[in-house]
Every structure is written in C-alpha cells, then in structure tokens.
Amino acid sequence: MQFEERVDGYYRSIILQTSEWVNLIYNTHMSAKKSILMNENQQKAVNHKAGPLLVVAGAGTGKTRVITERIKHLIEKEKVKPQEILALTFTEKAAQEMLDRVGDIMPLGYEEPWIYTFHSFADRVLKTEGLEIGLDTSYKILPYPEQWLLIRQNLFSLDLKYYLPLGNPTKFISAMLKFISRLQDENISLGELKDFADKFDGDEDEKKRWQELAGAYKKYGELKMAGSKMDFGDLITWTIKLFKERPNLLKKYREQFKHVLIDEFQDTNYAQYELIKLIAPADNLAKRSLMVVGDDNQSIYKFRGAAVSNILEFQENYSGCEMITLLQNYRSNQPILDAAYKLVTNNNPDTLESKLGISKELVGMKGKSPVKPRAIELETLEDEVEWTMQKILEIVASEPQYTYKDFAILARANSHLDPFVLGLRKYGLPYQLVGNRGLYDREEVRDILALLKVLVNPLDAISLYRVLNIDVLNIPHDEISRLLSSARYKKTHLWEVLSESTHPQIQALQKVLGDFRGRITKDTPVQIVYQLVSNINYLNPYIEMETVENQMTIKNMDLFLNRVKKFEIDYRNETKEIPTIVAFIDYIELMIQAGDNPAQAEIEDIETINLMTVHSSKGLEFPVVFMVDLISNRFPTRNRTDEIEIPEDLIKETLPAGDPHIQEERRLFYVGMNRDRHQDGAG
C-alpha cells in the first residue's frame, strides 16, 4: 500500500529492529572502519583521476569514508598538496568529523586541506578578499533572531504599508525574512526583484506589494552594510558577486583548488551550486577533478532552500561526467531496505533512477532470519505511547545486549515527542532530547528568567507566581493560595500582598529580591544571574542526587549563563557600555518573540533513550528505531506554503513534475527508516 494510505486515520508506530547476528564486518566506530577493505565502486571513486564525478551514495553505503579516503589518496599517492584540495559539507559537525577522519588516516603534522561548510568557506574568502568589492571584512554574522531584531528596530524606516499592519506591526517580519532568505538561496538580486516588481502586469495592489517588498529588501541590505553585518545567505551571494566582479580572484582560487569534493550534494541550494560551478567549471576539469557525493532520495531540506534539481541535473551541467553508484549498505538488513525503497520509488519520475535509467536498490548485510519492519496500528496516542514504553521495557528485559542508548524514538516535529517524554518519565526511563531546540522552554531556565523579570518589575504577576512555586524556596502551596485570594479580594497587585506577609519564606524571598534590586544598575547581568542562583541555592537539589535529568538541568543552566555572557560581550562591543540586567531582559524578551530558542544540553556516552526529529537523526544510526505519531497531517505533515512566496518567474531551480511536498515527506520517511543498524539479537 502507498505510504499515505498506510498512515491515514490511524495512530501508528513502526519499530525497526536488527537481525540475530553481530555485524562484525562493519560498525560505526572509526577503528573498525580502518580495517575494512573498500568495495569495488568505493575504490573507483577514491582513485578517480580527473574530470567531473557524480557518486550516487545511498544510505549507509560509506560515502563519508569515500571522501576521506580520496583526500588521503590524493595527498599520499597523487602527491597533491593539501591546500589544493577543497572539501565542502553542510554542518560544522560534519566538517569537523571529516577533518577528524582525515586526521586519523594521515601522518602526524600533515598540512590540512580546506575542509569547510559552505558558509565557513565563503566567510574565509570574504574575510581575505572582501575589500576588493568594498566590504568591511570585520563584519558580524547575524543569526536569524538578530536579523529579526534588526528589522524590528528599524521597522518604521522600511517604508512599509501593506506589510506593516498597525494592530500588529511585527506580524510580517518572519515572513519577510523567510522571503529574503529564499531570494538568497536562488541568488536573486535586488535588481531582479525590483525589475519584476516594476514590470508586474496584474492587479495594481499586488504590484504595489511587490514594490514594497523590493524596497524592504533594499533597505534591509543597507541596514546590514551600515552596521557591518551579514546574514548567512549574504556569505554565499557576496562570494559569488566577488568572483564574478573580480575575475583575477576567481582565477586565483580556481588554480589553487585542483580537486573539489562536495558532500551531501543533494542538500545544496541554487546559489551554492552556482558557487561550485564558478570554482570548478565544466570546461576547466581536464587535469582537475570535481567529485560530488549525494543521494536524491535523502534530500530533506527544502525548507532550507535545498534544490533536489541540482543532483538531478548534474550530468547535464557537466557533460561527459562519470557516475558511480554505491549500493552496498553496511547498516541495515534487507527487509528494511526493501520497504524503504518501495516507498521512495513513488517519487518517480523525479528521481535519478528514472532520469538516468539506473538502479538504486540497496543491498543489505545478510544474516539469519532478518527481522522485518513492523507497522503497529493503535486507536489513540495514549495507546501508542504505552505500547512504545512496554516494548522498550520488554526488549531491555529479554535481550541483555541492548542498553537504553540503543533506542531511538523519531517524530516529524519536536512537539510530537512531548507525549513520549511524559511516558518515559512515568516509567522512570532515562532519556534525552537530541539536537532539539528548546532551552528557554526548560523549567530551570524559565524559573531563573521569572526571577530576573520580578527583579526588574515586581508587578509582573505571572513571573511572580512562577517564582513563588520554585521548589527550593519552600513556600507552602496553601500560603500561595492565600496570597492569590487576598490579592483578588483587595483588588490589588500580588506584590503588594507579599509585602504584607509575615510568612518566613515569603520574607526571605523579599529580602533576597530587595538586596539584588539595589544592584540592578551596578552589577552586570552575569554577576546577577550567577549570584542570584547561588543565593537561593537553586542547584543544590540537582547536585545532591546524580541522575541523568539532574545532570541535564545543570548543563542547561550552564548553557543559559553562557547566553548571558555572550549578550554582555556583544553589548559592550556594540555600545561601548556595560549592560544592566534591565537591558538583558529587554533583549531576551525580543529574542524569544523573534523565535530564538537555542538547543538544550546533550550528554554523550550515557545510557539514555534518544528522542529526536527525523531531520535531526540524519547521519545517525541505532539498533532499535521507533517512528511514531504516523497519522494524517502529522507525518506526512500538512503542506504549509510560505506566507510570501517567490514568484515562479524568478525561481531559477528546476521544479519537480510531481507534488514537491509529498515527495519530500516520502524522502524524510525513507531517511528515518534507514537509521536502523544491525546489532546482535532479534529484539
């Protein structure tokens, strides 16, 4: 049955388990990987001489190893200088892993090749060469929340009308930023947008809206340049601009990088591909090489601008391109691979298989009676959570080779994991959210923010109520109820009622707040946060009992304090003044309004069940995988279009023939299914 038909109308889980034999040939540890002989196609990719090469690498086929072994081969066998090698990937973690792997297989003291993310590479080029096109090379890179804040602070200078509703002036800030980001992904210049707006042939109000957006795009760019600031999209577009306007610099980098390697090529956007084509043009590869490694079936970042058409059209852009397919999967058993493959072939004809007439059916590790993926239908979400908890307990009890860290619960969105967090807490099972945002949602961080808000504004009744309920303050619940009732009866502020209380814990709290209120303009935010937490002994209960949850709490508090330190440093650098706690509270409230919510703490190498989104799971593997909450409008999720969409006339990437949203949902589910890893035991 089709994937969409299978999940519609039911709460379902899929549990993917390993076969009964130990995978002695391959596992994820680097020491084991060193001892494995590469298969024929991997070796062909490593030994590639010159010209363009497309390596179609399915899930678990060892693509990262191919890239690192090729770098080693080029340096040791082909005598290529490390500085003549450029390898680009998508995350700092992936770039660092690649550097570490190359370091593991290279002798001590070797010169490192250029291994960067796209944005880090562009940043290095612009910091070195940006003066050539008038850039201030000491620019600051703005993360999304600070982009939001920049527009919020200058909202009334953008000359907006339709996109500045008086009742809610900030309503369209996020939509405009997403629109600008998509323009950058497509490398659409201000001139192209303005030309489209001025020549728009249609409704006059619609034309004015496009002209308004073009004006906002222009003003936003001016604001960034005036403050020596850039966002991440600027790094790519300005590097393209540099290379196009300064041919001598482009020639310099082309001559330097004789061998270019691109990891996760299916995740590139149109602008990043333009950058690749500038550095390694098709007509300049006779004695050089360009190797791109990717899998169109694992393109799952459309929301970040990824253009799956890049990998689908690579052979057209680089005529005479050699192609190698890696089909030997070293991670999962055959039934799981077959089920995942059957699902993703529904994306034909918008796949490499259809376009190139190749097979991408993965061949898994062979073992005894491999376990098949199971689809479990349950009536309610509560039943699904309960079934999942019981299954985990059953596997741990019956098969001692499994530990808690061997389990992963994958969902389509962070919020879908909440019921499973409650279930794990109910059964006392250790867990952690991996790669998930939500630091400001943590109870401990909300407690400290509430304390700080009351310090700044005692009449903030919501924050004050939260402070009264902080466990370590030991304020009885009946006393809190009495205070609330008294405030309602007297029709006065809760703080005024507190001032009249004779309860010892209430008086102790008032004394602490009074002492710190006298230091608001004297001490820095870091000093106040650190000393306030220490003064009320907030961390004592978490230090006394060493549990995973308590460790996470302490690490999250440390992450929050680091955010306060960063604010303080940035504030001093920008204003040349010492910030107060009032300035910090104003800043953090704006950041939260902008959608800022940093990642929670993670603890590695401990026995915890892993909860994460399918997007976060990419690149990871686990012996037992639960894919949960598989119901209509959740997974596959409902198609949510951007509030402000780029006009089709301006889109440069080639759009698929089929439904791009449901195709991406299939690919995402395919990625989730392929997280399963062999381990001894039937599970």
Q: What residue numbers does the annotated binding site for ATP cover?
A: 57-64
Count how many Cα atoms sit within 13 Å of the Cα of residue 674 in the half-sphere of its side chain. 29
Q: With b meaning 16 or more CB within 10 Å and e meaning fewer, what string describes 519-534?
A: beeebbbbebbeebbe
3-state secondary structure of 640: coil
* Binding site, annotated residues: 57-64
Q: For 508, what's the count of Cα atoms within 13 Å in the CB-facing half-sphere?
A: 12
From CA 119, how far away is CA 163, in angstroms rounded? 30
CA pair distance 478, 495, nearest whole angstrom: 17
Q: Which residues pair with 116 in a beta bridge?
A: 88
Closest CA relative to residue 470, chosen from 457, 452, 456, 494: 452
Instruction: Indicate the pairing of strand 259-262 with strand 289-294.
Output: parallel
What does each C-alpha distance from 518 to 252, 309, 456 come to in angstroms? 60, 61, 11
| HSE, side-chain direction, 13 A CA sphere, residue 592 | 14
Lookup: tokens for 661: 């949203």
- How far apart (Å, rounded) are the C-alpha atoms in residues 242 and 127? 12
Distance of CA 639 to the CA centre of its chain: 20
One-letter identity of residue 87 = A
Query: Would you say 45 and 291 are in contact if contact means Cβ atoms under 8 Å apart?
Result: yes
Burial class of 651 by CB neighbour count within 10 A (0 to 12, 13 to 18, 19+): middle
Least Cα distance to 334 among 610, 7, 60 occurs for 60
Nearest Cα to Cα of residue 100 among 33, 36, 47: 33
Q: Which DSSP helix (H) or strand (E) runs through 615? A: helix 614-617
Q: Which are the contacts of 49, defined by CB distance < 8 A and separation ≥ 6?
A: 289
Sorted by sequence, the CB contacts under 8 Å of residue 3 that are 6+ apart come out as 343, 346, 636, 666, 669
The Cα-based distances of 212 to 161, 224, 231, 468, 609 in angstroms read 8, 18, 21, 48, 49
What span, in angstroms and rounded, lies between the C-alpha atoms of 107 and 441? 46
Phi, psi of 490 (to 5 degrees): -85, -5
Show the tokens assigned to 428.
Answer: 């006392």
Q: What is each CA distance from 272 to 122, 408, 428, 455, in whole angstroms?
A: 10, 33, 46, 47
**CA atoms of 39 and 5, how far apart (whole Å):** 38
What does the chain come to in residues?
Answer: 683
- Residue 72 CA, chain-centre distance (Å), reads 29
Query: Buried b / exposed e across 565-581, counting CB within 10 Å, b at 16+?
Result: eebbeebeeeeeeebbb
